[in-house]
A and B are shown apart, each in its own frame.
Chain A
Amino acid sequence: MAVESGDEDDLSINEQAISASEDEEGSDDERKHKKLLEAISSMGGRKRKKQSERSEASVQVSEFFVNAEGTGEKVNISDLLGTVEKTSGAANKTKKQLRNLQNSKGTLALPLNKQQTEKIQRGIAYEKTTKEVSCWQNIIVQNQKAEQIVFPLNQESLGPKQVEQVVAGWKAQTPLEQEIFRLLHSNSHPVNDPVLTPVEEASLKAMSLEEAKIRRAELQKTRALQSYYEAKAKREKNIKSKKYHKIQKKGKRKEFLKQFEEMVKTNPEGALEELKKMELSRMEERMSLKHQNSGKWAKSKAIMAKYDDSARKAMQEQLQMNKDLTQKIVVPSDDEHESNEEGLETVPDFVNDPEPIIDPVNPWMRVQLTHEEPEVSCVTTDEPQTAEQENEEEELIGEFERKRKLRQADEEDLIPTEEQSKRAGLKKILAQNEVVEEDVVEVSDKEEEEEEEDEEEEDVSEFNTLFRLMRNEKTLEGTNQTPQGLNTPEREDEEGLLNEGQIRVRNIEDLEILDEDTAVGEATSEPPNKKKSEIDLKKVLTKDAKVVKVPFLPTVVEEEDHGEQISIIKEAFAGDDVISDFIKDKRKQEAAGKPKVVDLTLPGWGEWGGVGLKPSRWKRKRFRIKMASSPPRQDRKLPDTIISENRNTSIASHQVSQLPFPFQNTAQFESCIRTPIGQTWNTQGVVKKMTKPKVITKLGAIIAPMVKEDFINKTTTSAGKGPAIMLGENKRANKGREWSSAKHQGRRGSQKRKKQQT
């Protein structure tokens, strides 16, 4: 393609050259002939590139094969193009542009016909007008939505004005004032708030040299420290020994605990923060199953635990960790309480604990003297009963732990007896917080035995262990359920024998009338899906009466026995059984309300008919139309009530039966009109607000149509963040800007108008 086009270009060059030379030299046959020949040769399929020959002498001789033809002529595009094609360095873009230029040398296109031009003009005009008109859109929507519009729109507000507004209207007029303000502005002096100049502010902000030095030194130091710390941490992190990390962690935890206790005393706020952290860790723990017995390691340990003591211990430790972490932390409530609590803390908690050596039979001995809830951590308990249980349980755990430690310390060489293993099992149960149905009696028996056994050992070391365990107990407190708590049903059974509860005394009347409570019980015991179409006689008039004591009895009526009264009443109304009458009435109403079956069978149609012959079954099935069942009666659950199902048509004419526009369902509409607007139900102010007119026109004032400048100005001023008070030139400058913009708009508007006219 490129080559071809190149050839053509050459041709054209030649042609032009010829035509130019013709003018110069006049008619020349030779040339004409040559041209003809060339034309002929060009028509042939093969195109040879011809080199133009130098035919005559010329002043300028180029070394690049350029003939001197057409010297002093204007440069044509085609000339340029030819060279561009040849030079590889020329930009593609320019190449393209030039080519396009050349291609477009054809004749001018015909002007569009009238219809089309008009169409295009209309389109443009439409676009312009929409643009112009759509700037009204906002204001119109706003006015439509407005709760109230006061006409004429831009009224000056009456009444006293604010000082700032009055001041804002003032301009610097005299040359002196102008000069003053110019000075102020040129020095960027604040006009509105003359407290500090910017220079002063800047100077205030600046630091002295010494300060800066100190600051720099500080920063350097912290940076260095940080880098040291980072290096250390990295080093420690690279240590791969698990044991090392374990020990580290333990040490850290211990230290932390120590610190925390100190912090509680010295810096309660810091302690609070720490508590928050603990809370966070608790959350994390509760979310994850990290220290539960479900992990791979834990499972393996659980299997091992049966035989291996250390595994068991490890397992327990892990569970303990979980428990510790998941424990709820109670924040000390107030500063006032804190001082109290601190005072209390000096007396150890175990003072109030029951003595370990006790008579197990005597229930009083088990009771803690005065029990305060621990301030650091405890579970918030609703019932005092659970608190007790927890206390007892805590004791139990403490006991176990104490013994274990004693055993470890003193008699490690002892062979674990059967009982011990039992105990361990029990311990496990307690620790794991499992729900196990176990007899309380058994547990308590065991406990007692153990207590008796360990009495002597405990005597000496008990105090130390107690101290040691104090904190543990605190944290342990209130986490677990008691085995005793689990066994409450049994206890209830036992106590059933010694029941102190009220005994319901039934009247004679009550024999026939069912108590409501029992009815409820029956209802629960009965299968719920049982149909109750039949009205139960016993369910009508079910309320039992309570006899009222009266200070003085009426003189007219003699005192009678309750039973006698009933018999008398029964005699009096032997004839009319009101209840059955009522039920009959109700049945009747129900039956009347039920939809009737429409029978369309035609006897004798398609089969034999006559006396004693019934239409066949299929026919009856086919032609008896059952109407849709009516909605359930309102009184279906009220045996002694009949509620009329008739629709109240009288009110319908006053009701709304068509939803107004924006509402899509009745609930929306009803909720919108649920608040009355009358004076009877509302305060005066609310009534006024609710019933204020949508449009207010001022009497006698001319209401001019809205002008575009009105709202446009408004929006610009509201959007602008300029200071409320502008004095002097500043203000004027602003005004000038506004004015110029308005003018500009006006001009633009006039232009548009002109365009529309054309």
Chain B
Amino acid sequence: MAALVPEVLTSTHVEKMNKKKPPKRYWEETENTDQRRPEEEQGTAVQNQNKSTVKERSLKRKNGESLEKKDPFSGEAPIPHKQLQKFQRGEKYKVPAGARQRLKEAIISSEAMSELAQKQAARYDLLLPEDAGFLEGDEDEDTNTISQDDIADAADITSGSKYFNLHLSQFGPYRLDYGRTGRHLLVGGKKGHVACIDWQSKDLMCEMNVMETVNDVKWLHTEAMFAVAQKRWLYIYDSKGLELHCVKKFNDVLRMQFLPYHFLLATASATGFLQYLDVSVGKEIAAICTKMGRLDVMSQNPHNAVIHLGHPNGTISLWSPNQKEPLVKILCHRGAVRSLTVDKTGTYMVTSGLDRKLKVYDIRAFKPLHSCFLPAGASCLSLSQRGLLSAATGDIVQVYQNVLGSSPVSKPYMAHRLQGQIWGLAYCPFEDVLGIGHGEGFTSMIVPGAGEPNFDALDTNPFRSSKQRQEWEVKALLEKVQPELIGLDPGQLSKVDQASFEQRHKEHVEALGFDPLAKDKFKPKTKKKGRSSAGAIEKRKRKVAHEDQRDKIRQTVQERTERDKEQKEKSNEKKNLGNKSTLDRFRK
């Protein structure tokens, strides 16, 4: 009834032909016919003129069977399980037994829809054709001994030109920031030199000296504006170098982070304040006194827009603008935290401290995964889109591969020596490039496999025109995420507010006098022949009592046994590995 569909035709001339096939009877041997088919196919393939097969074929043609061609790949193309899993959102919900019709329909339809979405997304994954680069050394050659010049020589001209140095020795160590699309670079020297460059064309957009100490520089949502944390106030300039704002509410800012989907500029100041500025309306959203002293280590979690701050007492605190106290506080180092960074998926956090350790944390569980000891601790850390970690140890930049796995690393993937202290490290998005700001200027270093090869042109398009940029800006502003939604769990919005739900439900129950959501009590059926005596009924009731509780217990018991089994296996493996003897080689 719903959509108007042309009347379905039950049969056509063509279909009738198919139906001509005599029905298969159970007493007829099915195997013979099954066998015949592959034979036949082989015969056609090899052009075998075997008499019997020819006869069979002709026979079949007479029956009108061979006229139809079977589609060897009927139905939809299968999607690999792995790909499907990649796009899975939550667990599938089974329709509970005894659910009402409407509920059943609602659940079934929503499940079907989410399955469709998942399938389609997995199918469209095919449209991400680019692969990431990598660096491979010869036999017994460490990749970290390959110099940048060699790489630049070996690579094509465009890629080779991505390795370059800017000699800016006058205005001291540089901080840097790449725009979200990866085309624009902003560098700020400590002694006041600020410049923004379209680094791929080496086109200087603006350059100036603010005549003040520059603590940090940051692009805002587009390449049209950037923020500079100067000695006293926070300034906002446009890409021509024109001063747009001097935000006097933000003083002594040391580090800044820009949350692109919330349009929030988070600043950490020397006075211990963490402040949020909404750049779309120019309003201060929150000012939190952290009471943790000078805040000069800062990073954001791109997954949930939580700000991570590192403190001199070795702790790292996680902040949202909605709470005056840290969401989480983790003791990471025995000395002060020097630097920290969070990976794109918001799963891992890498920290380095004065105790010269580099630690990898799983910030979903807040558990340390592994830690390693760097000879001279890392002063700057940065994670690329594909999980390469760069660490600045003194005047050397080291790049590590597979840091985020479970096994600790033993040696770097790449290394590069620079002049002067390193002050800023940042990977360029969608490029295999690591930008390094140091005492002698800026260096762009090639790191194969750093950047994400496939970009979402609707979100961040490196090749967008100014018109596209304008349109994107409008769309992004319309889709702006409210700062209230920032929290540890970004999916919080899709959950029912349990506390107020319970409160409301309680009130509702009081008003009604009964609980509408309560499960119906088990009512034993009346049975005959004395089996419905009070005792029997009581017995039957007891059989189903605490069913949900029993389920839970059953589940936990099962889980426990599984865990035990796993542990046992693990220990067994260990034992087996550990007890290798010299006589083992005699074993077969």
Q: Which of A10-18, A78-86, A254-262, A570-578 lies on the face that meets chain B?
A: A570-578
Chain B residues with CB under 8 Å of A541's CB are: 331-334
A52 touches B (CB below 8 Å)? no
B327 touches A552 (CB 8 A): no
Chain B residues with CB under 8 Å of A40's CB are: none
Q: Which of B159-167, B243-251, B263-271, B367-375 lies on the face that meets chain A?
A: B367-375
A51 touches B (CB below 8 Å)? no
A147 touches B31 (CB 8 A): no
Chain A, residues 249-279, CB within 8 Å of chain B (1/0): the string is 0000000000000000000010000000000
A654 touches B482 (CB 8 A): yes
CB-contact partner of A556 in B325, B326, B394, under 8 A: B394
Number of contact residues on B: which range applies?
Answer: 35 or more
Chain B residues with CB under 8 Å of A542's CB are: 368
B460 touches A (CB below 8 Å)? no
A203 touches B (CB below 8 Å)? no
- Complex CA–CA separation, A447 to B575 (angstroms): 31
A383 to chain B, nearest CB (A): 10
A544 touches B (CB below 8 Å)? yes
B396 touches A550 (CB 8 A): yes
A540 touches B (CB below 8 Å)? yes
Chain B, residues 401-428, CB within 8 Å of chain A (1/0): the string is 0000000111110010100010000000
CB-contact partner of B106 in A635, A672, A724, under 8 A: A672
A545 touches B366 (CB 8 A): no
Query: Which chain A residues numbered 363 to 383 have a C-beta less than 8 Å away from chain B?
Result: 363-364, 367-368
A668 touches B103 (CB 8 A): yes
Query: Which chain A residues numbered 687 to 721 have a C-beta less than 8 Å away from chain B?
Result: 689-690, 711, 714, 717, 721
Query: Which chain B residues numbered 64 to 114 have a C-beta less than 8 Å away from chain A?
Result: 89-93, 96, 99-100, 102-103, 105-107, 109-111, 113-114
A672 touches B107 (CB 8 A): yes
CB-contact partner of B334 in A500, A573, A655, A673, under 8 A: A573
A546 touches B (CB below 8 Å)? yes
Chain B: CB-nearest residue to A654: B493
B511 touches A (CB below 8 Å)? no
Chain A residues with CB under 8 Å of B330's CB are: 640-642
B145 touches A (CB below 8 Å)? yes
B322 touches A671 (CB 8 A): no
Chain B residues with CB under 8 Å of A145's CB are: 105
B373 touches A546 (CB 8 A): yes
- Complex CA–CA separation, A374 to B107 (angstroms): 52
- Complex CA–CA separation, A573 to B517 (angstroms): 59
B11 touches A723 (CB 8 A): yes
CB-contact partner of B12 in A492, A554, A675, A724, under 8 A: A724
A148 touches B (CB below 8 Å)? yes
Chain B, residues 104-140, CB within 8 Å of chain A (1/0): the string is 0111011101101110110110000000000000000
- Complex CA–CA separation, A147 to B580 (angstroms): 66
B273 to chain A, nearest CB (A): 19
A148 touches B497 (CB 8 A): no
A146 touches B354 (CB 8 A): no
- Complex CA–CA separation, A402 to B421 (angstroms): 83
Number of contact residues on A: which range applies?
Answer: 35 or more
B329 touches A641 (CB 8 A): yes
Query: Which chain A residues numbered 660 to 694 have a C-beta less than 8 Å away from chain B?
Result: 661-676, 679-683, 685-686, 689-690
Chain B residues with CB under 8 Å of A686's CB are: 116-117, 120-121
A648 touches B (CB below 8 Å)? yes
A551 touches B583 (CB 8 A): no
B467 touches A (CB below 8 Å)? no
- Complex CA–CA separation, A692 to B409 (angstroms): 51
CB-contact partner of A670 in B328, B373, B495, under 8 A: B495
Q: A499-B579, A550-B398 are in contact. Are A646 and B496 (CB under 8 A)?
A: no
Chain B residues with CB under 8 Å of A150's CB are: 2-4
Chain A residues with CB under 8 Å of B474's CB are: none
Chain A residues with CB under 8 Å of B359's CB are: 543
Chain A residues with CB under 8 Å of B33's CB are: none
Q: A543-B371, A648-B323, A657-B504 are in contact. Are A499 and B578 (CB under 8 A)?
A: yes
B588 touches A (CB below 8 Å)? yes
Q: Which of B44-52, B274-282, B484-492 lies on the face that meets chain A?
A: B484-492
A490 to chain B, nearest CB (A): 12
Chain B residues with CB under 8 Å of A742's CB are: none
- Complex CA–CA separation, A675 to B116 (angstroms): 10
Chain B residues with CB under 8 Å of A683's CB are: 117, 120-121, 123-124
A164 touches B107 (CB 8 A): no
- Complex CA–CA separation, A658 to B502 (angstroms): 9
B410 touches A549 (CB 8 A): yes
Chain A residues with CB under 8 Å of B31's CB are: 269
A37 touches B (CB below 8 Å)? no
A654 touches B372 (CB 8 A): no
Chain A, residues 477-505, CB within 8 Å of chain B (1/0): the string is 00000000000000010011011111000
B68 to chain A, nearest CB (A): 15
Among A364, A388, A655, the one with the most B-chain Cβ atoms within 10 Å of its Cβ is A655
Chain A residues with CB under 8 Å of B393's CB are: 550, 554
B396 touches A552 (CB 8 A): yes
Q: A367-B588, A686-B120 are in contact. Are A157 and B394 (CB under 8 A)?
A: no
Chain A, residues 582-600, CB within 8 Å of chain B (1/0): the string is 1001000000000000000
A384 touches B367 (CB 8 A): no
Chain A, residues 381-392, CB within 8 Å of chain B (1/0): the string is 000110010000
Among B322, B375, B479, the one with the most A-chain Cβ atoms within 10 Å of its Cβ is B375
B43 to chain A, nearest CB (A): 17
Chain A, residues 524-545, CB within 8 Å of chain B (1/0): the string is 0000000000000000111111
- Complex CA–CA separation, A443 to B236 (angstroms): 88
B529 touches A (CB below 8 Å)? no
- Complex CA–CA separation, A672 to B372 (angstroms): 44
B581 touches A (CB below 8 Å)? yes
B120 touches A682 (CB 8 A): yes
Among A150, A549, A647, A714, the one with the most B-chain Cβ atoms within 10 Å of its Cβ is A549
A156 to chain B, nearest CB (A): 8
B238 touches A (CB below 8 Å)? no
B530 touches A (CB below 8 Å)? no
A115 touches B (CB below 8 Å)? no
A500 touches B411 (CB 8 A): no
B178 to chain A, nearest CB (A): 22
CB-contact partner of A650 in B354, B410, B484, under 8 A: B484
- Complex CA–CA separation, A714 to B100 (angstroms): 29
Chain B residues with CB under 8 Å of A192's CB are: 11, 13, 16
Chain B: CB-nearest residue to A517: B574
Chain A residues with CB under 8 Å of B145's CB are: 551
A651 touches B579 (CB 8 A): no
B580 touches A500 (CB 8 A): yes
Chain B residues with CB under 8 Å of A579's CB are: 331, 334
CB-contact partner of A664 in B103, B394, B408, B417, under 8 A: B103
Chain A: CB-nearest residue to B392: A554
A161 touches B (CB below 8 Å)? yes
A543 touches B370 (CB 8 A): yes
- Complex CA–CA separation, A581 to B395 (angstroms): 34
Chain B: CB-nearest residue to A553: B375
A507 to chain B, nearest CB (A): 9
B375 touches A646 (CB 8 A): no
Chain B, residues 448-491, CB within 8 Å of chain A (1/0): the string is 00000000001100000000000000000001001011010000
- Complex CA–CA separation, A150 to B1 (angstroms): 9
- Complex CA–CA separation, A579 to B92 (angstroms): 43
Could you show 24 A-B contacts with beta carbons less than 8 Å apart? A149-B3, A165-B6, A192-B13, A193-B16, A496-B579, A498-B583, A546-B373, A548-B411, A549-B411, A552-B415, A554-B395, A555-B394, A578-B313, A578-B335, A641-B329, A642-B326, A650-B322, A666-B496, A670-B495, A670-B496, A673-B110, A683-B123, A686-B116, A714-B1
Given A547-B372, A675-B110, A714-B1, 9 more A-B residue pairs with CB atoms under 8 Å apart are A492-B579, A500-B584, A543-B371, A546-B371, A548-B411, A551-B144, A552-B415, A579-B331, A680-B459
By Cβ-Cβ distance, the 6 closest A-B pairs, closest first, are A554-B394, A146-B2, A671-B93, A675-B114, A655-B497, A495-B581
